[in-house]
């Protein structure tokens, strides 16, 4: 038996070596200059622009598209980045089909929206490839801010604070900065190490220092940060994974987020083991990313099982369709019951007066590898009592927590959707609130 093969059916190197590069190539190739011009010409440049209202970062979409139309892609990028400093990543991973493009008048009239996401990528890529950072840091204020977490919220907060002249130390527990963008998004959406390239570009503003491998609670406390810095922003995401307490569960069940992170950090995909039959439990973007990438690694049968109806899945319809087109099967209205030899037992569900309930009818799906993607949880913040809301940090409209001098945003904070673009907006807005407080 091959050394890479395991008795449980989880195998590395299921595909020919050349297949991995092909499978994990850029899923949505960028527009060229001519294609961008044609796409821009479809915009109506609406006066009331419903697409702007649908964008969590409120980018002036008609303006940047008009700038592309006028052959000013770099100016378009500046318009985008003024509102969303991670506009390049968001152009790749933002569910535009349920945000700006869904609100597009072309979508309402013709069922075919302006390609806003692709145009945003064209503009931001043009600027970054030219090595231009279009922002100048204000004179140093002498204030020092700690940003915990180098994910989208933390990076957006840090850049805006640095723009205002404050000095920022970004601390992250992982080996590399980027958070969700680096560890939690499917590789085929962000090839060529784009997450790190975008961070290198962002840091050109100056005034930001990133320290990795240092974790809140293990290496320092929130009380220590409050004593050492003029303000603190918490943007560390969600550190825990919701448990799946099942009878007969064994080491076949892993966390989808860990699987995606391992794949993103692998320098040889042929060495990643994958089951012949894979089941992913959950209905969000993480579930879809884990399922599709399992298929791309060579799994023969991949099934997503979700406890409610397909219309309730938090993954967008576009992502659902992408999964099914990749050969992933969707099974809805079913919840896991127990692990059984060679697979998992599920029970069909229905909605009743008291919420979701099992029908008593069960079935088994054969599986030698199971991933849970049923949501993540916020861990405790050592050293200070902080008000929570539904298991996340309670914040006001400016991102202020219940502790003076401490702000929070992104997935660890209560309120917005768990999206990269929402995290960027919350980090940016918290930075403006911090700036006002430090300038008072």
CB of 117 within 8 A of CB of 205?
no
Give the pLDDT band (50/70/90) at residue 249. low
pLDDT at 3: 36
Helix (H) or strand (E) run with residue 241 in it: strand 240-241
Give the distance, in angstroms, between the CA of residue 240 and the centroid of all CA atoms in the same chain. Answer: 16
Percentage of residues in the chain with pLDDT exceeding 70? 95
Choose among 331, 250, 245: nearest CA to 287.
331
Entry field: residues in the chain: 440
Pairing of strands 167-172, 208-212: parallel
pLDDT at 118: 98
Q: What are phi and psi of 147, to 5 degrees?
A: -115, 120
pLDDT at 385: 82
| pLDDT reading at 151 higher than 90 | yes
Tell me if the pTM is above 0.75: yes
Q: What are phi and psi of 386, to 5 degrees?
A: -130, 135
42-56, 151-165, 242-256, 391-405: which has the minimum mean pLDDT?
A: 242-256
Write down the residue that tokens 């011009």 correspond to: 37
Choose among 215, 202, 155: nearest CA to 179.
155
User: What is each CA distance from 427 to 57, 61, 173, 397, in whole angstroms?
Assistant: 10, 21, 18, 12
User: What is each CA distance from 303 to 61, 129, 282, 290, 330, in whole angstroms?
Assistant: 37, 39, 10, 11, 6
- pLDDT average, residue stretch 164-193: 95
CB of 27 within 8 A of CB of 188?
yes
Count of CB atoms within 10 A of residue 431's CB? 29
- pLDDT average, residue stretch 23-32: 94
- pLDDT average, residue stretch 55-68: 98
Bridge partners, residue 10, by sequence: 275
Helix (H) or strand (E) run with residue 376 in it: strand 376-377
Distance in angstroms (rounded) separating the CA atoms of residues 307 and 358? 10
Q: Which SS3 state, helix, strand or coil, does residue 166 take?
A: coil
Percentage of residues in the chain with pLDDT exceeding 90? 85
**Burial (CB count <10 Å: 0-12, 13-18, 19+), residue 32:** exposed
Phi-psi category of residue 212: left, alpha or beta, with phi > 0 → left and psi -120 to 50 → alpha:
beta
Burial 210-227 (b: 16+ CB within 10 A, else e): beeeebbeeebebeebbe
CB of 49 within 8 A of CB of 62?
yes
Six-digit token pair at 224? 């220590």
Average pLDDT of the chain, as a whole number:
93
- Helical segments of 275-372, H only: 285-296, 317-325
Distance in angstroms (rounded) separating the CA atoms of residues 245 and 239? 19
Count of CB atoms within 10 A of residue 374's CB? 21
The alpha carbon dihedral of 410, 416, 420, 421 has a sign of: negative
Q: Which SS3 state, helix, strand or coil, does residue 173 take?
A: coil
- Helical segments of 172-211, H only: 180-183, 194-202
CB of 183 within 8 A of CB of 264?
yes
| Residue predicted with more confidence, 104 or 384 | 104
- pLDDT average, residue stretch 128-153: 97
Q: Which domains does the chain have, with CATH numbers?
A: 10-25+241-375 (3.50.50.60), 33-129 (1.10.1060.10), 144-239+378-439 (3.50.50.60)
| pLDDT reading at 133 higher than 60 | yes
- pLDDT average, residue stretch 22-36: 95
Give the pLDDT band (50/70/90) at residue 4. very low
């Amino acid at each position: 038996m091959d050394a890479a093969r395991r008795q449980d059916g989880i195998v590395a190197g299921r595909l020919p070596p050349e297949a991995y590069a092909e499978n994990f190539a850029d899923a949505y190739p960028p527009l060229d200059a001519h294609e961008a011009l044609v796409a821009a010409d479809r915009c109506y440049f609406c006066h009331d622009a419903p697409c702007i209202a649908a964008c969590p970062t409120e980018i002036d979409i008609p303006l940047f598209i008009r700038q592309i139309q006028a052959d000013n892609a770099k100016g378009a990028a500046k318009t985008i980045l003024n509102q969303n400093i991670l506009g390049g990543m968001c152009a790749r991973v933002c569910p535009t089909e349920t945000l700006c493009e869904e609100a597009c008048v072309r979508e309402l009239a013709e069922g075919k929206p302006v390609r806003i996401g692709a145009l945003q990528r064209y503009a931001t890529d043009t600027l970054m490839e030219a090595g231009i950072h279009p922002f100048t840091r204000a004179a140093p204020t002498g204030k020092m801010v700690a940003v915990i977490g180098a994910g989208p919220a933390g990076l957006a907060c840090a850049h805006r604070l640095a723009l205002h002249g404050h000095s920022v130390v970004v601390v992250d527990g992982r080996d590399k900065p980027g958070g969700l963008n680096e560890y939690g998004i499917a590789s085929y959406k962000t090839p060529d190490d784009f997450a790190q390239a975008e961070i290198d570009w962002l840091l050109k503003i100056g005034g930001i220092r990133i320290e990795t491998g240092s974790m809140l609670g293990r290496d320092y406390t929130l009380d220590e940060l409050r004593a050492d810095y003029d303000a603190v922003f918490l943007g560390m995401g969600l550190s825990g994974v919701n448990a799946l307490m099942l009878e007969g569960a064994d080491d076949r069940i892993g966390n989808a987020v860990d699987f995606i992170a391992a794949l993103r950090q692998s320098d040889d995909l042929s060495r990643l083991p994958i089951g012949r039959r894979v089941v992913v439990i959950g209905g969000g973007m993480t579930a879809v990313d884990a399922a599709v990438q399992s298929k791309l690694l060579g799994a023969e049968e991949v099934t997503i099982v979700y406890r409610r109806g397909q219309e309730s899945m938090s993954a967008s319809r576009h992502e659902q369709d992408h999964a099914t087109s990749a050969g992933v099967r969707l099974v809805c209205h079913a919840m896991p019951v127990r692990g059984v030899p060679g697979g998992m037992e599920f029970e069909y569900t229905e909605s009743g007066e008291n919420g979701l309930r099992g029908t008593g009818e069960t079935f088994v799906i054969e599986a030698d590898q199971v991933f849970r993607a049923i949501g993540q949880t916020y861990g405790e913040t050592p050293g200070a009592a902080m008000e929570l809301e539904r298991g996340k940090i309670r914040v006001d409209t400016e991102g202020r927590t219940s502790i003076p001098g401490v702000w929070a945003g992104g997935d660890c904070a209560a309120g917005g959707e768990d999206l990269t673009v929402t995290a960027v907006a919350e980090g940016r807005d918290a930075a403006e609130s911090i700036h006002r407080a430090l300038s008072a």
